[in-house]
Amino acid sequence: MAERAQPVSPWPGIGAAALVATLILGTLAAVALRAETSSGFSPADWAALKFTLTQSTLSALFSVLLAVPVARALARRRFRGRRALIALLGAPFILPVIVAILGLLQVFGRSGWISDLLGLFGLPPIRIYGLHGVVLAHLFFNLPLATRLVLQAWQEIPAERFRLAAQLGCNGAAMFRLIELPMLLRILPGVLAVVFAICLTSFAVALTLGGGPRATTIELAIYQAFTYDFDLGRAALLSALQLALTAVAAFAALKFSRGDGFGTGLDRAIRRWDGGTPTLDAFWILTAATFLLLPLASVVISGFAGLFEMPAMVFRAALTSIIVAAASTAILLLLALPMAAAVATGRYGIVELSGILGLAASPLVIGTGLFILIRPLANPTTLALPVTALVNAAMALPFALRILVPAARDVVTRHGRLAISLDMGKGTFFARVLLPRMRPQICFAAGLGAALSMGDLGVIALFADPQIATLPLQIYRLMGAYQMQAAAGGALLLLLLSMGAFWLLDRGGRWHAEA
Amino acid sequence: MKHLLIAAGLLSATSAIAADKSQLTVYTYDSFVSDWGPGPQVKEAFEATCECELNLVGVEDGAALLSRVRLEGENSDADVVLGLDTNLIAAARETGLFAPSSISADFALPIEWKDDTFTPYDWGYFAFVYNADASAPANFKELADSDTKIIIQDPRSSTPGLGLLMWVKAAYGDEAPEIWAGLADNIVTVTKGWSEAYGLFLEGESDMVLSYTTSPAYHLIAEEDASKAAAAFDEGNYLQVEVAAKLAGTDQPELADQFLEFVVSDAFQQIIPTTNWMYPAVTPAAGLPEGFETLTVPENSLLFSPDEAAAVRDQALAEWQNALSQ
């Protein structure tokens, strides 16, 4: 294939992708090589694989199907508090698992708010535990993410398209068919693959909401192989299976999501003339908001009392978490921006694939692999925080890429030829054209990365030192010491910090989204 | 010249070690080292006597702790491991990584303890904890026949979960699958660890939760709340005995022995009840803290020997999985 001139160099991105692939596959290899004997797959593992595939597929389908009307409603309507609502909708995604489970069950559990309400009318409590409970919980985590990703794409449609359509007298249905449907077909496979991969590695959520051992996922089997059987070979094998499933999903998504973007626009603020059905839009927004905000409200309510009972070390842990989140966000951008630029030049799908692997990598395998690799060189405990920041960045990378790649592609298509004809240097194009034009996406990705890193337990538990703890670890420690109220306070603090970081960073980039 | 440099380097290295205090590294589970656990007080008390520095390293839980030691193998950084229980002892012994140390003490365990390698430091009964104003079933069969809702932990990821598996097996042997089948409709859910289960129980998600007979002591002593109780079952309650042991590869064998002696001494044992919320393995001279006398004490106790536990473990797990996956 003849080399076509490109406005931006793919090599830094390829380097970053190689680094990420080395981290994920290298740690897996380290675990596999350390194995003494391995028993291979057991029938129970096949059952786990079947359940994992079923729940991830259902969770991904429901999250994406529901995200479309919610995102469309949010894209079409302007109302007071819209921004705050969009920011709040990001919250479930960043809660530590244990806090999210308690919040969800406070609403949907046997003695939750809904069951209490039903009780007033003499109705039996709802039965939340089972496959439907698992899907509901994953919907709680992933609907906001899917909505944000779809909404982002909606807002990237040039305003001129809607103007033209309105001028030509298109009604809502025609506008959907001509403008919105092609956009959805282009981005939905990618969103599906991301949500599928997230749900693939679910463990505590699936087990608790699933109601028992029939809800055994591959991640639980990996944990069991590590700690219950100490069968490193089987752990590595299962982890490789998880990665392979994600790679297949990602390949399928990349294959199906081809299609042209919308081309040039003048960056005007988007106005919509297809008023359509306000009641329907209101219904979707209200339903999604109620579903997502009720469990958050329960986290806030139960945390409020504990907020004043928290010992000083909780605040110290919060500070540690902020530092780790900042470092992790910096690493994330250093990896994601060159990778997005490389993908945007059009020939490096493999770069995108290596970015998505972070989703499917078992934290336990990465952590153990790093431990094996670091130990001959240094005391792993002293490196707990840098390692946590690095792994958090790798885990957030797939999200950052989903956000950055479409925008980078647009910039390269729109301005690339002009830059080449002006003989603009590749570095200059990257710094002066690509980055400034991607500011909203960069800030959104940074916000998400910071919030994710803040809320994720990550690998710190494997390397922990009694003196050093991040906030999620401190919350687990409080719970382990019966201090449920202080833990609830810590969870609220974490929620506030994560939302704050997300709000601050994301706000910096919202120059084109009007209130 | 080169040799001189190396010699100088070695010399300064040895003098640096001589100037520093000797170091003892103890691997334990995470809740032991947390600020609310025994860790901080244990460190202070031991360092007051040993002219050394005690490094406590926390690793998730007992099972993860053993995995860590196996991962590090013969050149582990740890000198002592504290926090395995009887269900893990057989696997730990089989690794050959642990060394005997002749610690003797007047153990206050409900069973006789004879082991030259693993030294008990605390113990407790597994039990279902419930709200004291409710009534509790007297045994597993009564529980299975009732509509009492319980939350348990997964034996594959949690020590209490594994304890319950052993409990049912020890009490019912070949009848265990029927007991689990009977309990299936009582189990609200199975959680990854103790914290999730206990948190859900406190939120009112179930009538009972698998924990320890000592759990009500926490609520009584730390929160002045007498509303929780633990049920004694007439089959007997299964015991958890937590042990510490010296690693064969330690470079501080004397200090490690000194630490194990310290573990069974009053100084260590009196810290345990109100920080680890378990019974001390050796009753301290001052007795148990006030409030412990109110705790339920089961009439019978059950415990598999480490070898029995290892032998029945996989079959018991398969029975559990089958019964609850229907």
ipTM value: 0.87
Is position B32 within any domain? Answer: yes
Closest CA relative to residue B74, chosen from B306, B251, B259, B244: B251
DSSP-derived secondary structure letter, A434: I
The bridge status of strand B80-85 relative to strand B22-28 is: parallel
A91-102 confidence digits (pLDDT tens): 887 787 888 888
Of B39, B64, B204, which is closest to A466 when you measure between CB atoms? B39
Q: Give chain A positions within 8 Å (CB) of B219.
A: 482
Find which of A45, A116, A208, A238 to mutate to test the B interface (most B CBs within 10 Å of its CB). A208
pLDDT surpassing 90 at residue A81: no
Q: Do B316 and B274 belong to one domain?
A: no
Q: Do B46 and B191 belong to one domain?
A: no
Is position B8 within any domain? Answer: no
Which residues share a beta bridge with A490? Answer: none
Identify the band that residue A512 occupies on the pLDDT scale cut at 50, 70 and 90: very low
pLDDT surpassing 50 at residue B5: no
Amino acid of residue B290: E
Q: Do B82 and B170 belong to one domain?
A: no
Closest CA relative to residue A354, chosen from A222, A257, A243: A243
Mean pLDDT, rounded, for A460-468: 74
Q: Is B45 on the interface with A (CB under 8 A)?
A: no
What is the per-residue pLDDT for B18?
A: 44
Is position B11 within any domain? Answer: no
Mean pLDDT, rounded, for A123-142: 92
Domains and CATH numbers, chain A: 20-257+276-507 (1.10.3720.10)
Q: Cα separation of B94 and B117, whole Å?
A: 12
Q: Do A482 and B277 touch (CB under 8 A)?
A: yes
Measure A327 CA to nearest chain B CA, in Å: 24
Q: Give chain A positions within 8 Å (CB) of B63.
A: 227-228
Torsion of CA A42, A44, A50, A53, to 10 degrees: -90
Q: Do B36 and A481 touch (CB under 8 A)?
A: yes
Q: Is B104 on the interface with A (CB under 8 A)?
A: no
Per-residue CA distances from B14 to A291, B10, B52, B250 (Å): 64, 6, 17, 19
Cβ contacts from A onto B, under 8 A:
147
The bridge status of strand B119-131 relative to strand B301-302 is: unpaired
Is position B250 within any domain? Answer: yes
- Structural domain that includes position B38: 21-123+240-293
Q: Do A220 and B203 touch (CB under 8 A)?
A: no
**Which chain A residue has its CA at the smallest distance from B157's CA?**
A224
| Helix ranges restricted to H, B119-273 | 140-145, 159-172, 176-183, 194-202, 215-223, 253-263, 266-269
- Which one is predicted more confidently, A277 or A224? A224
B118-146 confidence digits (pLDDT tens): 999 999 999 999 999 999 999 999 999 99
Mean pLDDT, rounded, for A170-187: 83
Mean pLDDT, rounded, for A49-73: 95
B22-48 confidence digits (pLDDT tens): 999 999 998 898 888 999 999 999 999
What is the per-residue pLDDT for B244?
A: 97
**Which chain B residue has its CA at the smallest distance from A33's CA?**
B71
What is the per-residue pLDDT for A409?
A: 85
What is the per-residue pLDDT for B190?
A: 95
pTM, full prediction: 0.88
Q: Is B84 on the interface with A (CB under 8 A)?
A: no
**SS3 state of residue B25:** strand
Q: Do B197 and B317 belong to one domain?
A: yes
Q: Do B286 and B220 belong to one domain?
A: no
B214-255 confidence digits (pLDDT tens): 999 999 999 999 999 999 999 999 999 999 999 999 999 999
Is position B6 within any domain? Answer: no
What is the per-residue pLDDT for A429?
A: 87
pLDDT surpassing 90 at residue A405: no
Using an 8 Å Cβ cutoff, are B245 and B118 in contact? yes
- Which one is predicted more confidently, A182 or A334? A334
Q: Do B253 and B118 belong to one domain?
A: yes
Q: Do B194 and B301 belong to one domain?
A: yes
Q: Do A129 and B188 touch (CB under 8 A)?
A: yes
Mean pLDDT, rounded, for A127-156: 90
What tokens appear for B248 in the block? 């064969």
**Which chain B residue has its CA at the smallest distance from A221's CA?**
B156
Q: Which residues 174-203 on chain B approach chain A with CB closer than 8 angstroms?
A: 184, 187-196, 198-200, 202-203
**How many domains is chain B built from?**
2
Q: Cα separation of A364 and A239, whole Å?
A: 9
Q: Do B144 and B289 belong to one domain?
A: no
The helix (H) or strand (E) run that includes residue B29 is none
Give the least confident one: A35-44, A375-384, B316-325: A35-44
Q: What is the DSSP string of A356-419?
A: HHHHHS-HHHHHHHHHHHHTTTS-GGGGHHHHHHHHHHHHHHHHHHHHHHHHHHHHHHHHHHHH
A299-322 confidence digits (pLDDT tens): 999 898 888 878 888 899 999 999
What tokens appear for A99 in the block? 């806090």
Using an 8 Å Cβ cutoff, are B215 and B208 in contact? no
Q: Do B68 and B129 belong to one domain?
A: no
Q: Give chain A positions within 8 Å (CB) of B187.
A: 211-212
Using an 8 Å Cβ cutoff, are A292 and A86 in contact? no
Identify the band that residue B61 occupies on the pLDDT scale cut at 50, 70 and 90: confident
Closest CA relative to residue B63, chosen from B42, B38, B92, B35: B92
Phi-psi region of A346 (alpha: psi -120 to 50; beta: other; left: phi over 0): left
Q: Do B176 and B312 belong to one domain?
A: yes
Say which residue the tokens 């990001």 belong to: A90
What is the per-residue pLDDT for A8?
A: 82
Q: Give chain B positions within 8 Å (CB) of A34.
A: 71
What is the per-residue pLDDT for A267?
A: 60
**Which chain A residue has its CA at the smallest distance from B313's CA?**
A228
Is position B84 within any domain? Answer: yes
Per-residue CA distances from A402 to A24, A193, A254, A409 (Å): 19, 10, 11, 11
Measure A23 CA to nearest chain B CA, in Å: 19
Identify the band that residue A270 occupies on the pLDDT scale cut at 50, 70 and 90: low
Q: Do B189 and B313 belong to one domain?
A: yes
What is the per-residue pLDDT for B125?
A: 97
Q: Cα separation of A213 and B313, whole Å?
A: 16
A348-402 confidence digits (pLDDT tens): 777 878 877 888 888 888 988 998 999 888 888 888 889 999 999 998 898 898 8
| Helix ranges restricted to H, A77-215 | 82-89, 91-94, 97-108, 113-120, 131-155, 159-167, 172-175, 181-200, 204-210
Is position B1 within any domain? Answer: no
What is the per-residue pLDDT for B320?
A: 95
Is position B15 within any domain? Answer: no
**Burial profile B34-53: b = 16 or more Cβ within 10 angstroms, e = fewer:** bbbbbbbebbebbeeebebe
Q: Do B91 and B26 belong to one domain?
A: yes
Read off the CATH number of the domain in which B78 is found: 3.40.190.10
Give the least confident one: A174-178, A212-216, A254-258, B135-139: A254-258
**Which chain A residue has its CA at the smallest distance from B191's CA?**
A208
What is the per-residue pLDDT for A510?
A: 60
Q: Give chain B positions within 8 Å (CB) of A372.
A: 71
Q: Give chain B positions within 8 Å (CB) of A487.
A: 199
What is the per-residue pLDDT for B1?
A: 44
A231-268 confidence digits (pLDDT tens): 899 999 999 999 999 888 888 887 776 555 555 565 66
What tokens appear for A506 in the block? 């994301």
Q: Give chain B positions within 8 Å (CB) of A375.
A: 72
pLDDT surpassing 60 at residue B11: no
